[in-house]
Amino acid sequence: MDLVVRQPRRAEPGETLFGTDFSTGPGGKGLNQAIAAARAGASVRFIGAVGTDAFAERLRDRLVADGVDVEGLRTVPGATGIAQITVTDDGQNTIVVVPAANADRAFSVDDRATVAAASHLVVQLERPIELLEVALRHARDAGVTTVLTPAPARAGLDALLDLADVLVPNEGEAMMLSGRDDAESAAIELSRRAGTVIVTLGERGALVARGGAVVRHVGARPARAVDTTAAGDTFVGVLVAWLADGRSLDDALEAAVAGAAITVTRAGAAESMPSRDEIDRALASPVATGDV
Domains of the chain: 29-45+105-291 (3.40.1190.20)
Tell me the pLDDT tens digit for each residue of 170-229.
Answer: 999 999 999 999 999 999 999 999 999 999 998 889 999 999 999 999 988 877 777 777
List of residues 6+ apart from 239 with CB closer than 8 A: 147, 166, 168, 198, 252, 253, 255, 256
288: confidence class by pLDDT, cuts 50, 70, 90: very low
Q: 157 vs 27, which has greater pLDDT?
A: 157
Binding-site residue numbers for ATP are: 170, 200-205, 232-233
Asked whether the whole model's pTM tops 0.85, one would answer yes
Of the listed 2, 104, 111, 233, which one is catalytic? 233
Q: Are 242 and 40 in contact (CB under 8 A)?
A: yes
**Is residue 286's pLDDT more than 70?**
no
Binding-site residues for K(+): 227, 229, 263, 266, 268, 272
Q: Which residues line the annotated binding site? A: 28-32, 126, 170, 200-205, 227, 229, 232-233, 263, 266, 268, 272
% of the chain with per-residue pLDDT over 70: 97
Query: For helices 276-283 and 249-263, what crossing angle results, to 10°?
Result: 110
Which of 219, 289, 198, 292 minimizes the C-alpha distance to 261?
219
Annotated binding site for substrate: 28-32, 126, 233
Percentage of the chain lying above the pLDDT 90 cut:
80
- More confidently predicted of 66 and 153: 66
Q: Which residues pair with 74 in a beta bridge?
A: 49
Active site residue 233: yes
pLDDT in tens, 11-51: 999 999 999 999 998 988 999 999 999 999 999 999 999 99
